[in-house]
Chains A and B, each alone.
Chain A
Amino acid sequence: MLALVSPALLVILALIVLPVGWLAWQSIYHDGFTLENYRRIFTEDIYWRSFALTFEISLAVTVIALLLGYPVAYLANSVPKGWSILILALVVLPFWTSVLVRAYAWLALLQRTGVINQLLRYLDVISEPLALVHNTFGTVVATVHILLPFMVLPLYATMQKIPGDLMQAGASLGASPSLTFMRVFLPLSLPGVLAGCTMVFVLCLGFYITPELLGGGRTVMVSMLVSRNVELYNQFGAASAVAVVLLLSVLLIFAAVSRFISLDRILGQK
């Protein structure tokens, strides 16, 4: 058995464990041990503000993705097989387009002379173009779009495992459809909600392209501080330290969530 998995383990060791270890090492070692890079993160308020903004954006994206994704997953779960495949295909389709292309597509839609503003002006809904992009709003819209599949798929997988008989049982006991949903379906789908939310939140923490292209320069997320620090301090340690703190926050979130549901449920869909 060990012989069979060892190539895979070696690949993981070479491609993940070693680079991450080297990253962490650099953040504390530069011509001798130093905690300077960490001192900077915890004393200069730009880091604090970026971490706060990153968590705010991630939270907003997660909530919006849940509100949009839950009905989609519910619909895919309740229609006949053929239709549900079509719905899931539509959810997954954008997956095959590069994130960069999708970010630029949103730029074409949202900017001052973009499709949405032109249409609203044509319909006389607005007289001045709305500021839909080059701010946090544009960043959140595009990020939700990109991360939506990570919400819908775990939700759908969980809903699939809720036996349909339970709804019928609820109905036979005289409960209205909305009551059965609230009392039976929703609680049973909660593990999927937690799994989807964790995936979306954690992925969003490290987002770079959407805030960089659609944030107008003002939306400085943590990933952007990483690239800025490489430029500014001429050594990788300053950037590694930011990455390490971000990685630790992600691990903390996983640790907290795993108290409620098992991790392979989030990652492996058992």
Chain B
Amino acid sequence: MTKRHFRYGYAVLGGSLGLLATAGIAAAAEQITFVSQGGAYQQAQTVAILDPSAKKLGITINQDSIPDAWPAIKTQVGSGKPIWDVVDTPTGYCLRGGEQGLIEKLDFSKIPNAAAMPETYRSPYSVSYEFYSSVLAYSQKTFPKDAPNSWVDFWDVKKFPGRRALRNHPIATLEAALMADGVAPDKLYPLDVDRAFKKLEEIKPSITVWWTSGAQSAQLLNDGEVDMEMAWNGRVSAVAKEGAKVSFTYNQGILQSTSLCILKGAPNLDTAVKFLNEAVDPVHQANLPLNIDYGPGNPKAFDTGVIKPERAAQLPSEPANAAKQALMSYAWWSSPAGEAAEKRWASFMQK
């Protein structure tokens, strides 16, 4: 019953998208539908990765965008006739989708570019596509010198007085709490959830805002509503570029990624695999940070010479910056323990 309703919905949606797609195809024999999150981010990919890949492979890449792909992945694959091929989505969804049979298992012998990447940068279902980081950001007005430089400092309300904000979400926040409690960035997983929540209780009275959107975190820092906060590096640098006196440190940042994965039963599976390999090509990847403040998913991009050293130093996944940070384990977050921690969050917020 449930499935049938979904199918009708998608028949309509699929029909209209199909029309769009046919209009887009001129002569190219092979095509795929690629989905990302839209906005400036998808625009940057189009210039750096998608257009060059399409040209090189001689295929047509139809683009679609959606802020949160997860429900659509579920319904599309559930309907038995997915219309998307490749999705760029937070790595956790690729893993969860893989476990639930919604995402194709990858054959890395057909994806040499990904096979050459470090093992922590891929999973049986996904390949890292780009990196961003949850960093400690602060106002330079409040802290002209001796700025907070670690989560220990963030938790130290005596030495660093001021208003604080954290993200209203356990992902990355629990990691920060554990680092504040002295756990080394490379020894975080499996997370000691009890210890993390206990440490969060400690800072909770000093948190003015628990933000929910990246835009909100930027506004809080920009308007001087808070003096320090956890935020995504791209949001902080965007505010700084507009002239706000704000800065951040990569020290103890939490390195997060979105990954590429292929929907189970994707209509153009073979072409999708070819595209996946091309998309993580070191040169295409190196072009991404020239267009937006995100780091390449393939670390080999830093060896291509495309990214100038001073630009590389600003990027979250640059090897020296990456070494100061914790690499998020999406495998842990999509495990039962991770899901339980996520459910515990709401009750922590209410108390």
Q: Spell out A's residues near B (CB within 8 Å).
A: 22, 25-26, 29-30, 44-46, 49-50, 53, 111-113, 131, 134, 212-213, 216-218, 220, 225, 228, 230, 232, 234
Contact A234 B74, beta carbon cutoff 8 Å: yes
Return the contact of A216 from the options B96, B209, B223 (Cβ within 8 A). B209
Q: How far is the CA of A91 from the CA of B291 in the complex (A)?
A: 47
Q: Which residue of A lies closest to B350 (CB)?
A: A49
Contact A228 B208, beta carbon cutoff 8 Å: no
Contact A218 B210, beta carbon cutoff 8 Å: yes
Q: Spell out B's residues near A (CB within 8 Å).
A: 1-2, 5, 70-71, 74, 96, 100, 163, 168, 208-212, 216, 223-225, 339, 342-343, 346-347, 349-350
Q: Which residue of A lies closest to B351 (CB)?
A: A49
Q: Which residue of A lies closest to B343 (CB)?
A: A232
Contact A112 B163, beta carbon cutoff 8 Å: yes
Contact B346 A225, beta carbon cutoff 8 Å: yes
Tell me the smallest distance from the CB of B348 to a CB of chain A, in Å. Answer: 10
Residues of A within 8 A of B339 (CB): 232
A-B contact pairs, 23 of them (CB 8 A): A25-B2, A29-B2, A30-B2, A44-B347, A53-B350, A111-B223, A112-B163, A112-B224, A112-B225, A113-B223, A131-B208, A134-B208, A134-B225, A216-B209, A217-B209, A217-B212, A218-B210, A218-B349, A218-B350, A220-B350, A225-B346, A230-B71, A234-B100
Return the contact of B347 from the options A26, A46, A53, A234 (Cβ within 8 A). A46
Contact B211 A217, beta carbon cutoff 8 Å: yes
Residues of B within 8 A of A234 (CB): 70, 74, 96, 100
Contact A220 B5, beta carbon cutoff 8 Å: no
Q: How far is the CA of A64 from the CA of B216 in the complex (A)?
A: 28
Nearest 5 interchain pairs by C-beta: A217-B210, A217-B168, A46-B347, A134-B209, A216-B209
Q: Which residue of A lies closest to B224 (CB)?
A: A113
Q: How far is the CA of A234 from the CA of B1 in the complex (A)?
A: 18
Q: Which residue of A lies closest to B204 (CB)?
A: A218
Given A46-B350, A50-B350: A111 and B5 interface contact (C-beta under 8 Å): no
Given A29-B2, A113-B224, A234-B74: A228 and B209 interface contact (C-beta under 8 Å): no
Residues of A within 8 A of B168 (CB): 217
Return the contact of B346 from the options A26, A29, A113, A228 (Cβ within 8 A). A228
Contact A29 B1, beta carbon cutoff 8 Å: yes
Q: Which residue of B lies closest to A22 (CB)?
A: B5
Q: How far is the CA of A182 from the CA of B239 in the complex (A)?
A: 57
Contact A212 B223, beta carbon cutoff 8 Å: no
Contact A111 B225, beta carbon cutoff 8 Å: yes
Contact A25 B210, beta carbon cutoff 8 Å: no
Q: How far is the CA of A9 from the CA of B216 in the complex (A)?
A: 42
Tell me the smallest distance from the CB of A226 to a CB of chain B, in Å. Answer: 12
Contact B209 A46, beta carbon cutoff 8 Å: no
Tell me the smallest distance from the CB of B346 to a CB of chain A, in Å. Answer: 5
Contact A232 B225, beta carbon cutoff 8 Å: no
Q: Which residue of B lies closest to A213 (CB)?
A: B216
Contact A217 B1, beta carbon cutoff 8 Å: no
Q: How far is the CA of A44 from the CA of B345 in the complex (A)?
A: 13
Q: How far is the CA of A49 from the CA of B343 in the complex (A)?
A: 15
Residues of A within 8 A of B216 (CB): 213
Tell me the smallest distance from the CB of A85 to a CB of chain B, in Å. Answer: 38
Tell me the smallest distance from the CB of A39 to a CB of chain B, in Å. Answer: 15
Known: A113-B223, A217-B349, A234-B74; 19 extra A-B contacts, CB below 8 A, are A22-B5, A30-B2, A44-B347, A49-B350, A53-B350, A111-B223, A111-B225, A112-B224, A113-B225, A134-B209, A216-B208, A217-B212, A218-B349, A225-B346, A230-B71, A232-B339, A232-B342, A234-B96, A234-B100
Q: How far is the CA of A78 from the CA of B210 in the complex (A)?
A: 47
Residues of A within 8 A of B2 (CB): 25-26, 29-30
Residues of A within 8 A of B212 (CB): 212, 217
Tell me the smallest distance from the CB of A126 to a CB of chain B, in Å. Answer: 16
Contact A220 B225, beta carbon cutoff 8 Å: no
Residues of A within 8 A of B5 (CB): 22
Residues of A within 8 A of B209 (CB): 134, 216-217
Tell me the smallest distance from the CB of A101 to a CB of chain B, in Å. Answer: 14
Q: Which residue of A lies closest to B211 (CB)?
A: A217
Residues of A within 8 A of B225 (CB): 111-113, 134
Residues of B within 8 A of A49 (CB): 350
Q: How far is the CA of A30 from the CA of B71 in the complex (A)?
A: 16
Contact A46 B346, beta carbon cutoff 8 Å: yes
Tell me the smallest distance from the CB of B37 to a CB of chain A, in Å. Answer: 16
Q: How far is the CA of A266 from the CA of B223 in the complex (A)?
A: 43
Residues of A within 8 A of B349 (CB): 217-218, 220
Q: Which residue of A lies closest to B74 (CB)?
A: A234
Q: Which residue of A lies closest to B342 (CB)?
A: A232
Residues of B within 8 A of A111 (CB): 223, 225
